[in-house]
Amino acid sequence: MGAGKSTVGERLAEATARPFVDLDRLIERRHVPIPQLFERGEEEFRRIEESVLAEVLAGPESVIALGGGTVLSPLNRERLRARAFTVYLDVGIEAAWERVRGSDRPLAQREVDFRKLYESRQEVYAEAADAVASDADDVLLASLAIRLGGVIPPRVPAVIADERVLELHAPPVEAPVHALPQGEAAKSLAVVERLWGELTIGREGTIVAFGGGSTTDVAGFVAATHLRGVPWIAVPTTLTGQVDAAIGGKTGINTADGKNLAGAFHFPESVVIDRALLATLPEQERRGGMAEVVKTGLLAGRPVWELPEEEMIRACAAYKAAVVLSDPFETEGRRPLLNLGHTFAHALEAGSGYRVSHGEAVALGLLAALRLSSRPTDAVEEILHPEPVEADLETAWAALKRDKKGEGVFVLLEAPGKPVVTTVPDAEARAALASLLRQ
């Protein structure tokens, strides 16, 4: 108690578009204030708590703030293991006591008793928790096993890596290495077929993807399809990968008709983000990553690009995790919001024969999306400095029309932090696309 579970829970519920349930408040609404329940005996309160928690866990996916003693019940712990991802929000004894002192909480009337209670519960809290966190972003990252500076489990028998990255960095684990061509050249059926033939791992094996967004796309797709699916771990080596591409379980390859048109949802066991890998990143790749950072900031309604690098990566990864958790398989309508600027970007890439990099294309796509939204373009222009590119308008327009997000469908901004999926008349969309091309 006093850890801030209700405050953090409300933030998580808003970020992930899930209902929020405060277990103690729900019990009070159905019965009487908790101090009165404790007057009848703690055993009676715990029996009611078990019953209400079972009902909540059987309902819609929610963010649930548990009472401080909920996990003392073996039955509750068993139900949580079966139905929930449980996080211990650890703020320390001093902060917790400061928040509850002077309240009417039955178990927080005397500091000495509160401290003893805190110490006595640490072991069971550790047993019940799938993760330990200190704030909402920590919980979001933990929920998708995103680890900043984390380690890779030792049971890894195969690494799929970008050939250029292997020239700069040793593989993250000792295992057979399967090299990929750089960039979009890796995202082909021919490369996937080669990897299927080379891999010798069984279903107990794990694949590590070591490279940028193209590498994690391909390696994740191979993991999804090899022997009908094996686990994989993403170790993104680019800024784009660390803030966006490696997060969320979308994997895929390109086809003759466009980017990422063949793929699967296959979530990695973990995403290990090592900022040290960015030290060798070429400037063009860093700018490409910043395009995704600016996109995230526009969607979130906060200038995350102004944060120190580590905090910026953490904030972007947490935002992406929140959207993914709200719509894991792109069925609820929220996850497509992450495509802000990308409908135009994919069209530009196709229209240039993929000579225009993804980062350049996203920067220009954001510019077009903001113009169509009648929103200021300052952040895009000042941070990304997009310039018109050479591409064939007809090829780009054809690619835009068959884009996987649906003909005429775009993500625009009503206001900072308020993206919408909407339609744009062909004439306006084509004019916006043409304005991105070098005349």
Give residue-wise pLDDT tens across range 23-46.
999 999 999 999 899 889 989 999
Domain end marker among 259, 281, 303: 281
Residue 300, domain member (yes or no): no
Other CB atoms within 10 A of residue 16 CB: 24
Distance, CA of 238 to CA of 241 (rounded, Å): 5
**What whole-number distance in Å separates Cα of residue 302 and Cα of residue 223?**
35
Q: What pLDDT digit, counting tens, does each position of 134-156 carry?
A: 999 999 999 999 999 877 877 77
Please check whether residue 325 lies inside any domain of the structure: no
Q: Measured between alpha carbons, how far is residue 150 from residues 141, 172, 290 in Å?
A: 12, 11, 23
Q: Is residue 304 situated within a structural domain?
A: no
Q: Per the domain annotation, does 390 fall within a domain? A: yes
Q: What angle do CA 150, 152, 153 make, to 5 degrees?
A: 130
Q: Are residues 174 and 107 in the same domain?
A: no
Residues 6+ apart with CB under 8 A from 136: 8, 11, 12, 15, 318
pLDDT in the model for residue 104:
84
Q: What is the rounded CA–CA span in Å between residue 438 and residue 136?
A: 44
Co-location of 188 and 256 in the same domain: yes
Q: Do 250 and 367 belong to one domain?
A: no
Annotated catalytic sites, by residue? 228, 250, 292, 320, 330, 335, 339, 342, 346, 358
Q: Cβ(400)–Cβ(258) under 8 Å?
A: no
Q: Which residues pair with 389 in a beta bridge?
A: 437
Residues 185 and 218 in one domain: yes
Q: What angle do CA 246, 249, 254 make, to 5 degrees?
A: 80
Please check whether residues 270 and 234 belong to one and the same domain: yes
Q: Print the domain residue range for 414.
A: 335-434
User: Where do the DSSP E strands lie in 49-168?
Assistant: 63-65, 87-89, 131-133, 146-148, 158-162
Domain boundary among 239, 261, 281: 281
Instruction: Give the pLDDT score at 406.
Output: 59
> Among the three residues 237, 260, 281, which one is the final residue of a domain in this structure?
281
Is the same domain home to 133 and 11? yes
Q: What pLDDT is recorded for position 1?
A: 84
Q: Are residues 129 and 164 in the same domain?
A: no
**Does 347 share its domain with 274?**
no
User: Cβ(222)–Cβ(207) under 8 Å?
Assistant: yes
What stretches in the chain show pLDDT beneath 50?
none
Closest CA to 365 of 392, 334, 396, 395: 396
**Same domain assignment for residues 69 and 133:** yes
Q: Is residue 22 part of a domain?
A: yes
DSSP reduced 3-state for 22: strand
Q: What is the predicted pLDDT for the residue at 189?
A: 96
The neighbouring-strand residues paired with 177 are 159
Number of domains the chain is built from: 3
CA distances from 6 to 149, 151, 327 (A): 28, 31, 23
d(CA 363, CA 36): 59
Together in a domain, 242 and 174: yes
Residue 166 sits in a domain whose CATH number is 3.40.50.1970
The DSSP call for residue 87 is E
Residue 47: Cβ within 10 Å count: 12
Same domain, 198 and 262: yes
Measured from the Cβ of residue 143, the count of other Cβ atoms closer than 10 Å reads 20
One-letter amino acid identity for 67?
G
Q: Does residue 151 fall inside a structural domain?
A: no
User: Is the distance from CB of 416 to CB of 332 less than 8 angstroms?
Assistant: no
Angular region, 142: left φ>0, alpha ψ -120 to 50, beta rest: alpha
Residue 114: give its domain's CATH number.
Answer: 3.40.50.300
Question: Does residue 320 lie within any of the structural domains?
Answer: no
pLDDT for 149 equals 85
Does 128 lie in the same domain as 203? no
Query: Which H or E run contains 428?
Result: helix 426-434
Residue 324 resides in a domain: no
d(CA 423, CA 420): 10
Domain with 421 in it: what CATH number?
Answer: 1.20.1090.10
